[in-house]
Structure formats: structure tokens, C-alpha cells
């Protein structure tokens, strides 16, 4: 690399370069609307700033947004950033997204200066500014960084990253030339980073690693240096942990409820998932539409990986050597990268479940620095001959990769804009539907599925009620609409079947399904299929006898999938084969000539040779409404020696997968509150052993969402989690439970749900089979 030009001129060139890249990749975000959690924050700010502005300060003494249902997080600073936007832009989404872009650009600039400071730790060099710019460009064009730039709620990551990076930069400058101003600035900025998001907890370890890299001395001397130069950083971090535990009541906090259960997994799979996303930083929900570009991008990442392994092998065998300075820098880069990943491991599965790659915003900084350090090592290790061509090949691949990553960022920004158009379409169609069906008692929206490749429009029924009106008005649409929403704790779209059947009893209700093609709500008939009293066996036919991954499952005569509670498929594997993790996709075909589409399919993973595959037809609204079924089609990957030996649809005529305490008559009293017509006492029994991987169960006694949306019970929704009145854990997949009167404190219809859990405690679904209720 050539010597750097004068610093002021080069800093200006770097700032303009990063600004141009940000504008080119993320300008579509300015046309985005509020998505997902944005609606929650807008409603929260509207209520707080109009009714009790000083309550915003309560974020410093309680959980984020004073809502434990949002998770046990301590992030008071982020709410003030949103509040400032609210005062400036009110309900104009473009203003909020402009602020997001400015924060992201500020982080990119900070990365430029930080990378230069990290480069100088090993030895002062004239290359530090060029290396800093290369690192900042790589970070700017990392596809996982699109969400903090384009999604308002993801600003929490860019705010934390900005204070984190600037704090580390000030502390590193203090190592170069000690100054009380730099030290105080670094500590203050670190405190602000901690008050923005918990991911900043890695900074004391990262800074300690930098101190070790700077000292290059013996063990005792190094430990003393850490105490002397990083001791105050550690003390500030410990004080933060004490404050956090005092405020939120626990040390670690995190997501609760269904989302928290979704994230449960052993440590090893979390690490593997983190490495995979760092090696290929393109979240599954943000893939490029063009198959050619996507394939080329994958090929380039694979080529870089192969070249990296080749270069490492040559160095390990002594055919190439790395200078000590470059080696120390690369080791430091890998160390701080590993440390920065640790705080996000508890929520790693959110990166593919709902929210994309924003969790890797901080690690992406050190990943970019690692790539730059690696290139420097290659240049020194292979100065001539064949090795020189290897280095040049790396540079060519990186140039193409940067260009393709830029396209991926641009495509992701357009995806956010497409999702905004979807949500605006839902908003306008819901208003039109409410006006057109003004005589209906209730408008029941069965489901609004997330579009493939787009960010999730919203997360729960409260946000649905926010999006069907201008978010800042006081009109209560929850008394008109009932949303039976997708369940976020599973990888399938679950519909609360019992609530649906309850709402279908009243002929004054209207049922609607979102038509993605026409972008409007279409009225559908209320589901009324009677449960079948005998099982239905399906004829199993391999589509290709030579293969072992595609089958057609055909009933003897046409039937309605809504008449059955569960589809059980038994898979036979060769004797002696070890269990392996596989994936499957089940398609439903209404008529023989219907095209099979992803929109009418289940996708799930399973462990082969352990338990049968189970599918619950009630978890898809289109299956509940289907009058007939011609066939099911099942694909299992990867292909191996296996066979489908039996497939059967089953139902329990005397019980339901989700059980009302009172299944017969409901009495509506003069206050509009539902009251069970008979006592809630009784005994329930269940058996979940036939569900894939069921190890234990959790019993929830709750008030359904459809009932909570009644104005008379709306007070419950102000208290997060109040709809779940009792939770009982049973350490086996079968059980018997006697209901007690004190578990039913309110005069309302309750529902009892038994959720099967895996060995790690992860939920397998809201529905178990069968559940029986016996009055006492």
C-alpha cells in the first residue's frame, strides 16, 4: 500500500467516499414506512409525550419503554433518540429514517478512525489511514448492516455502535499519548454505549486485548498493565451491571415469553450459527432476488474461503512466513471479533427467525478489520512468485465481493420499501373494509403472512391495530377487528383454532383473508368443517422411485383438511443409520391440477429415525377454509436412504387441540364480560408423545386474544402478559392436571393450552394431541 497523503485531505476524501456509498446503497430507506416494532415505539411516544412527558425519565429506573412484555432490556438512551424524532417529525416516517441513515453514516466514519488506531497498535505506520478506509468501506457494504440503516427500531444497534466505537477510539488514543480528556471522554462514551444496548458489554475485554497487544511484555507485566490502563473501564462496567440488576431485577435480562423460548438452544449450535453468518453475512430473509447475482456472490465467498485455507496451509508448512507485526495485528483482530460475538449468542437465532442480521452490527466492524488485517498478512507473506498471484487473486475477489455486497445492501433497502408498500396497502384496505362492513359486529382477520424476502410487517395484534389507522389517532379499531395472528414462537403460522370457532358462532361476524396478489382483504366463509370421527389413511407414492426425497400422499376420497387435527407421517430409515438433522416441506393441493406453491406449504426441521413427522392443519388459515384436499406432497432434504411407510390424518371428536374450559354455552352479562356457564373445575389429561422430540410440557391457562380485544377487557392488554393467568410445567410429555378455582379469577372465557417442549426447552408448538377435559 502506498504512503498516505496528508491527513486532512485524506480524511475529507474518506468522509465523502463513505457518504457516497451510504447514499447509493440506502437511499430507498427514506421512502419507508413504520415496520414491526416501529409502531409500538410510535404509540408509546404518542402516549408518553402527550400525557406525561416526564414519564420518559422512567426508562432510567425500569425496563425499556416500561414494558416487560417487550423484554427485560435496559436501554434508556434509545428512547430519548426516538422522542427527539417524534418532536421533530411527529408521524412523518421519512424523518425517522433520515435519522437512522445519519447514525449509520456516523458509525461508518467512526469505524474509519478506529481501524486506523487499531492498525497503529502493533507499530506506527503510514498505512493506517488507507487501512482504516478499507475497513470502513467493508463495514459500510456488509449486507447484515441494512436493518440499522433502514429500520427505525434497529437504530438501537447503530446508537450503541457509535458510542462503542468512539469510546474505544478515545481509549486507544489515550494509550498512544495519555490525556485526562481522552480518558474521561472514553469512559463517558462507554457509559452511553451501555445505556443504549447490552451489546456494549464486550468493550472492557476488547480494550484489555488492545492493551496486551500494545504492551508486548511478560505475563505479570501484562496483567499489571490491564489493571492500570483498563481498570477504570472494568469498574464502570461492574457499576453498570449493579445498576442494571437493581433496575430490571435480574443481571442478564433478555426476551421473555414465546420469543425467549424460541431462543433456547445449547451453546455449540449458537457458536456455529454465529460463525456461519460471519462467514456469509447475507441473512436468509434478505437474499438478492436475482439467482445469477446470488449464485455469483456465494461463489465468491466460497473462493475467498478456499484461498484463505490455502494461504493458511502454506504459512503452516513453512512455505510462507508472516511478519511478527502483521501476525500480532491479525491475532488481535480475531480476538476482538470473537469477543464481540459473545454478547449476541443468547439471541443468535433471531438473526434468521425474525429480524435479520442487525445483531451482527458490532461484530461486523471487527470482521471488516480482520479482513483488512488478513490482506496485509497475505501481502507480506507472498511478496513474489506464485504467492503474489494468490494475493492478487484475493484482491480481485474482494473487489467483486464489495460490489456484490453493495448490490445486496441496495436490494435489502428496496425490500424494506416493498414491505412499507405492503403495510400501507394493509392500512388502506383495512379502513375501506371497516367502512364497507360497518354493520358487522366484528371483522375477523385470519392471517397476514410475512412475504418471502421481506421484513416482517408487524409482530402482534397491538401493532396490527396501530397500522390500520394513522398511528397517532385515538380511534379504537380493536373493538371492530379481531386478528388471529401468526405465532412467532414456531416456524409455522399458527392460528388459534378455538378462538376462530368461537367467533364463527356469531353470524354477525365477517371473516377476511389477506390477498397478497390483489393487496386487499377478501371476505371468506366462516370455517365450519366438522371434525372427522375416524382416521383417514393416505396412499403413499414416491414421485421418483430412484430417489428418496419426494412423495405424494393421496386420500382415498376427497376430504377437508380442516376436519382433522393432525397429520402423522412415519419415516423409515435403514437399520443402523445414525440420526441426522433433516428438513422437510409439505405442500397441500386442493385440486389435482393446482400448482404447488410455497404459500401453501409447511416447512420444518426434524431429527430422522427418532419420531414420526407431525403437521397440524389448523395452523394454516387457507387449510382451515379449504373445502377439499386432493393430495399432499412431501419433500425431505438431504436425500438419503429412507422411505415413507405410513401417513394418516387423525382427529379427536371428543376433544380439541386447544380446549375451552367451557365448550358449550357462554353467557354475556350486562357489562359485556363473558362468563362461563358452568364451573371451571375439572381434570384435563394430555399425551404429546407422538409429537416430534417432545420431552416435557407447559400448561398455559389464559384468556384468548380474541376476547382481550373486547372493550370491556381492554384493561388487561395494558399489562403485558396479563392474558396468561397460570403456567404449569410438567417434566414429561404426558400428564393429568386438576383445575383449581383460584386459577380463574376473572369472569371471562378461558382456554387451556398444552405446549410440548423439546429436551432443550424449545417449544414445539401451541398445540398438543390429544387433550381431554372431564368436569368435576
The confidence score (pLDDT) of residue 95 equals 93
Residues facing 729 on adjacent strands: 698
- C-alpha angle 471/472/475, rounded to 5°? 85
Asked whether the beta carbons of 692 and 566 are under 8 A apart, the reply is no
Q: Is 3 helix (H, G, I), strand (E, B) or coil?
A: coil
Q: CB neighbours of 384 closer than 8 A, spacing ≥ 6?
A: none
State which H helix or E strand residue 738 sits in: strand 734-739
What is the rounded distance in angstroms from the CA atom of residue 711 to the CA atom of residue 478? 8
Cell numbers placing 746:
376473572
Residues facing 728 on adjacent strands: 699
What is the rounded distance in angstroms from the CA atom of residue 57 to the CA atom of residue 40? 18
Helix and strand numbers, DSSP H then E, in the chain: 21, 22
Tell how strand 509-515 and strand 613-615 pair up: unpaired
Asked whether the beta carbons of 612 and 690 are under 8 A apart, the reply is yes
Q: CB neighbours of 94 closer than 8 A, spacing ≥ 6?
A: 30, 31
Calculate the alpha carbon distances from 415 to 33, 146, 289, 403, 409 in Å: 12, 10, 10, 18, 10
Q: What is the CATH number of domain 536-650?
A: 2.60.120
Please tell me the number of Cα atoms within 13 Å of 421 on its side-chain side. 12
Cell numbers placing 3:
504512503
**DSSP annotation string for 224-283:** HHHHHHHHHHHHHHHHHHHHHHHHHSSSS-B--HHHHHHT---HHHHHHHHHHHHHS---
Q: Is 271 helix (H, G, I), strand (E, B) or coil?
A: helix
The confidence score (pLDDT) of residue 16 equals 95
Q: Which of 347, 258, 349, 353 is nearest to 757 (CA)?
A: 258
The confidence score (pLDDT) of residue 749 equals 59
DSSP state of 311: H
Asked whether the beta carbons of 95 and 42 are under 8 A apart, the reply is no
What is the rounded distance in angstroms from the CA atom of residue 698 to the CA atom of residue 720? 19
Q: CB neighbours of 326 closer than 8 A, spacing ≥ 6?
A: 122, 373, 376, 377, 380, 381
pTM of the model: 0.72
* Four-point Cα dihedral 323, 329, 331, 337, nearest 10: -150
Q: Tell me the CA end-to-end span of the chain in Å, nearest whole number.
A: 83
- C-alpha angle 592/597/600, rounded to 5°? 85
Asked whether the beta carbons of 568 and 612 are under 8 A apart, the reply is yes
What is the rounded distance in angstroms from the CA atom of residue 310 to the CA atom of residue 304? 10
Largest separation between any pair of C-alpha atoms in the chain: 90
Ranges of each domain in the chain? 7-415, 426-524, 536-650, 659-775
Q: What is the CA radius of gyration of the chain?
A: 29
Extended strands (E) in 399-549? 442-445, 481-483, 509-515, 520-524, 536-542
Long-range residue pairs from 287-293, CB within 8 A, at least 24 positions apart, any chain: 287/453, 288/407, 288/408, 288/411, 289/411, 289/453, 293/404, 293/407
Tell how strand 763-765 and strand 751-757 pair up: antiparallel
For residue 415, whether the previous peptide bond is cis, meaning omega lies within 30 degrees of 0, is no
Count other C-beta atoms under 10 Å from residue 404's C-beta.
22
Calculate the alpha carbon distances from 42 to 32, 151, 152, 648, 719 in Å: 15, 13, 10, 48, 18
Residue 376 C-alpha from the chain's centroid: 35
Q: Which of 217, 286, 765 is nearest to 496 (CA)?
A: 765
Q: Which of 358, 479, 481 is nearest to 431 (CA)?
A: 481
* Four-point Cα dihedral 191, 192, 198, 203, nearest 10: -60
Residue 321 C-alpha from the chain's centroid: 42
Q: Is the alpha carbon torsion for 64, 65, 70, 72 positive or negative? A: positive
What is the rounded distance in angstroms from the CA atom of residue 359 to the CA atom of residue 141? 16
Cell numbers placing 486:
401468526
DSSP state of 559: B
- C-alpha angle 456/460/462, rounded to 5°? 125
- Which residues does the chain have with pLDDT short of 50? 1-5, 257-266, 283-290, 351-354, 486-495, 653-679, 706-722, 766-769
Residues of 423-462 as b/e, b for ≥16 C-beta within 10 angstroms? bebbbebbeebbeebeebebbbbbbbebbebbbbbbbbbb
* CATH value of 659-775 in 3.20.20, 2.60.40, 1.10.287, 3.40.1130: 2.60.40
Task: List, in sequence order, the alpha helices (H) in 3-151.
Answer: 7-26, 38-51, 76-89, 93-122, 128-140, 146-150
Three-state SS letters, 329-379: HHHHHHHHHHHHHHHHHHHCCHHHHCCCCHHHHHHHHHHHHHHHHHHHHHH
Length of the chain: 776
What is the rounded distance in angstroms from the CA atom of residue 158 to the CA atom of residue 106? 9
What is the rounded distance in angstroms from the CA atom of residue 450 to the CA atom of residue 464? 13
What is the rounded distance in angstroms from the CA atom of residue 687 to the CA atom of residue 732? 9
Q: CB neighbours of 242 closer than 8 A, spacing ≥ 6?
A: none
Residue in the structure block whose three cell numbers are 358462532: 505
Count other C-beta atoms under 10 Å from residue 603's C-beta.
12
Residues facing 675 on adjacent strands: 667
Count other C-beta atoms under 10 Å from residue 201's C-beta.
18
Cell numbers placing 474:
385515538
Cell numbers placing 162:
457509535
Amino acid at each position: 500500500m502506498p504512503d498516505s497523503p496528508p491527513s486532512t485531505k485524506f480524511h475529507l476524501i474518506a468522509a465523502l467516499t463513505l457518504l457516497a456509498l451510504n447514499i447509493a446503497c440506502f437511499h430507498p430507506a427514506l421512502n419507508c414506512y413504520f415496520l414491526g416494532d416501529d409502531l409500538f415505539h410510535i404509540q408509546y411516544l404518542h402516549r408518553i409525550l402527550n400525557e406525561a412527558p416526564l414519564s420518559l425519565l422512567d426508562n432510567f429506573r425500569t425496563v425499556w419503554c416500561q414494558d416487560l412484555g417487550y423484554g427485560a432490556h435496559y436501554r434508556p438512551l434509545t428512547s430519548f433518540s426516538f422522542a427527539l424524532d417524534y418532536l421533530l417529525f411527529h408521524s412523518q416516517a421519512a424523518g425517522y429514517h433520515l435519522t437512522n441513515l445519519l447514525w449509520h453514516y456516523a458509525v461508518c466514519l467512526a469505524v474509519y478512525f478506529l481501524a486506523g488506531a487499531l492498525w497503529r497498535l502493533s507499530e506506527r505506520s503510514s498505512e493506517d489511514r488507507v487501512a482504516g478506509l478499507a475497513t470502513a468501506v467493508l463495514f459500510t457494504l456488509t449486507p447484515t448492516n441494512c436493518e440499522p440503516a433502514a429500520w427505525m427500531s434497529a437504530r438501537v444497534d447503530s446508537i450503541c455502535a457509535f458510542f462503542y466505537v468512539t469510546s474505544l477510539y478515545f481509549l486507544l488514543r489515550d494509550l498512544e499519548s495519555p490525556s485526562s480528556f481522552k480518558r474521561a471522554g472514553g469512559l463517558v462514551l462507554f457509559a452511553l454505549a451501555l445505556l443504549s444496548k447490552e451489546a456494549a458489554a464486550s468493550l472492557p475485554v476488547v480494550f484489555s486485548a488492545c492493551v496486551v497487544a500494545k504492551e508486548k511484555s511478560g505475563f505479570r507485566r501484562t496483567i499489571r498493565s490491564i489493571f492500570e490502563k483498563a481498570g477504570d473501564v472494568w469498574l464502570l462496567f461492574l457499576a453498570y451491571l449493579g445498576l442494571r440488576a437493581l433496575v430490571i431485577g435480574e443481571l442478564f435480562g433478555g426476551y421473555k415469553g414465546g420469543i425467549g423460548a424460541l431462543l433456547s438452544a445449547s451453546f455449540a449450535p449458537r457458536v456455529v450459527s454465529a460463525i456461519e453468518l460471519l462467514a456469509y453475512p447475507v441473512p436468509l430473509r434478505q437474499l438478492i432476488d436475482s439467482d445469477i447475482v446470488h449464485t455469483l456472490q456465494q461463489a465468491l465467498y466460497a473462493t475467498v474461503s478456499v484461498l484463505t485455507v490455502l494461504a493458511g496451509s502454506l504459512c503452516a508448512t513453512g512455505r510462507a512466513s508472516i511478519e511478527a507485526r502483521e501476525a500480532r495485528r491479525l491475532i488481535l483482530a480475531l480476538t476482538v471479533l470473537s469477543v464481540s460475538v459473545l454478547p449476541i449468542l443468547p439471541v443468535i437465532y433471531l438473526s434468521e427467525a425474525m429480524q435479520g442480521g442487525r445483531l451482527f452490527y458490532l461484530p461486523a466492524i471487527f470482521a471488516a478489520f480482520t479482513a483488512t488485517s488478513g490482506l496485509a498478512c497475505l501481502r507480506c507473506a507472498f511478496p513474489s512468485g506464485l504467492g503474489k498471484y494468490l494475493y492478487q487473486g484475493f484482491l480481485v475477489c474482494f473487489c467483486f465481493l464489495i460490489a456484490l455486497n453493495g448490490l445486496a445492501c441496495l436490494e435489502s433497502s428496496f425490500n424494506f420499501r416493498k414491505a412499507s408498500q405492503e403495510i400501507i396497502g394493509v392500512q388502506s384496505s383495512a379502513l375501506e373494509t371497516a367502512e364497507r362492513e360497518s354493520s358487522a359486529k366484528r371483522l375477523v382477520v385470519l392471517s397476514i403472512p410475512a412475504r418471502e424476502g421481506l421484513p416482517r410487517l408487524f409482530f402482534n395484534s397491538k401493532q396490527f391495530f396501530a397500522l390500520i389507522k394513522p398511528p397517532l389517532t385515538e380511534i379504537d379499531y380493536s373493538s371492530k377487528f379481531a386478528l388471529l395472528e401468526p405465532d412467532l414462537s414456531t416456524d409455522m403460522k399458527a392460528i388459534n383454532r378455538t378462538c376462530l370457532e368461537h367467533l364463527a358462532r356469531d353470524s354477525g361476524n365477517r371473516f377476511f383473508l389477506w390477498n397478497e396478489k390483489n393487496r386487499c382483504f377478501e371476505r371468506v366463509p366462516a370455517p365450519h368443517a366438522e371434525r372427522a370421527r375416524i382416521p383417514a389413511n393416505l396412499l403413499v407414492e414416491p414421485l421418483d422411485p430412484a430417489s428418496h426425497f419426494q412423495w405424494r400422499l393421496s386420500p382415498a376420497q376427497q376430504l377437508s383438511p380442516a376436519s382433522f387435527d393432525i397429520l402423522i407421517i412415519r419415516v423409515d430409515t435403514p437399520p443402523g443409520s445414525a440420526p441426522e438433522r433433516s428438513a422437510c416441506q409439505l405442500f397441500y393441493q386442493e385440486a389435482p391440477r393446482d400448482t404447488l406453491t410455497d404459500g401453501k406449504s409447511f416447512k420444518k426441521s426434524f431429527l430422522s429415525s427418532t419420531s414420526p413427522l407431525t403437521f397440524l392443519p389448523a395452523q394454516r388459515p387457507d387449510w382451515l377454509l379449504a373445502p377439499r384436499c386432493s393430495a399432499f406432497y412431501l419433500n425431505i432434504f438431504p436425500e438419503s436412504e429412507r422411505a415413507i411407510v405410513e401417513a394418516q390424518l387423525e382427529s379427536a371428536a371428543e376433544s380439541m387441540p386447544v380446549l375451552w374450559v367451557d365448550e358449550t354455552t357462554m353467557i354475556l352479562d350486562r357489562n359485556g364480560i363473558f362468563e362461563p356457564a358452568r364451573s371451571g373445575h375439572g381434570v384435563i389429561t394430555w399425551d404429546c408423545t407422538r409429537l416430534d422430540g417432545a420431552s416435557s410440557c407447559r400448561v398455559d391457562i389464559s384468556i384468548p386474544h380474541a376476547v382481550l380485544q373486547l372493550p370491556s377487557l381492554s384493561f388487561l392488554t395494558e399489562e403485558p402478559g396479563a392474558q396468561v393467568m397460570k403456567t404449569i410445567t410438567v417434566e414429561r410429555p404426558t400428564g393429568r392436571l386438576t383445575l383449581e378455582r383460584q386459577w380463574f379469577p376473572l369472569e371471562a372465557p378461558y382456554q387451556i393450552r398444552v405446549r410440548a417442549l423439546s429436551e432443550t426447552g424449545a417449544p414445539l408448538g401451541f398445540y398438543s394431541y390429544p387433550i381431554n377435559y372431564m368436569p368435576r
